[in-house]
């Protein structure tokens, strides 16, 4: 198994996508990249801790490659908006890849450069690529948020369309 830590806006959205990807053993919402020890949700939401909402993805590279995981990352959020995804605004919603070893860093930087020069997006990619330091799991009520709160407006308006887009684009890689 291998681990990578990814931030692409609201961790409820990111978790909902990755937990459906074949080869992913777990997708755990949490916080990374900040200065406060043992942060909690309301504190992170202020933007003062420096943490990003992230999902720590544990995956089997013999089933899903790092490149495939990163393709999902790039295609399921807007990597050109600084500290924002849709109506979620603040440094806690930044686009970030926390790499756990040099191969992850090299592939993330290579893909970012290739995508940036491809012109897919009209604006430059602002995704931060930083060395992983510490991961703090989010409070239990965040776990499987979309699956347990799918009836709520945020889930229907924001998460559901993102999951549907992912399932359409990566239909051959969805868990059965």
Give how far Cα 106 sits from Cα of 109, 143, 145, Å.
Answer: 5, 30, 32
List the 24-32 sheet strands across, edge first: 128-131, 95-99, 2-8, 52-59, 24-32, 135-137
Residue 21, CA atoms < 13 Å, CB-side half-sphere: 31
**Catalytic annotation on 13?**
no
Classify 43 as helix, strand or coil. Answer: helix
Catalytic residue list: 10
């Amino acid at each position: 198994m291998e681990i990578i830590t990814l931030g692409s806006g609201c961790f409820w959205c990111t978790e909902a996508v990755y937990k459906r990807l074949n080869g992913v053993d777990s997708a755990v919402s949490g916080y990374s990249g900040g200065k406060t020890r043992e942060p909690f949700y309301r504190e992170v939401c202020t933007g003062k801790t420096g943490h990003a909402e992230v999902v720590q993805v544990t995956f089997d590279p013999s089933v899903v490659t790092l490149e495939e995981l990163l393709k999902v990352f790039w295609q399921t959020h807007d990597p050109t908006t600084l500290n924002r995804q849709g109506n979620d605004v603040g440094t806690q919603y930044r686009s970030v890849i926390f790499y756990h070893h040099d191969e992850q860093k090299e592939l993330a930087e290579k893909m970012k450069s290739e995508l940036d020069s491809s012109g897919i997006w009209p604006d430059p990619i602002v995704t931060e690529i930083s060395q992983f330091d510490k991961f703090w799991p989010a409070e239990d009520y965040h776990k499987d948020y979309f699956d347990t709160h799918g009836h709520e407006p945020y889930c229907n308006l924001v998460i559901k369309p993102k999951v549907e887009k992912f399932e359409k684009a990566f239909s051959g890689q969805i868990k059965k």
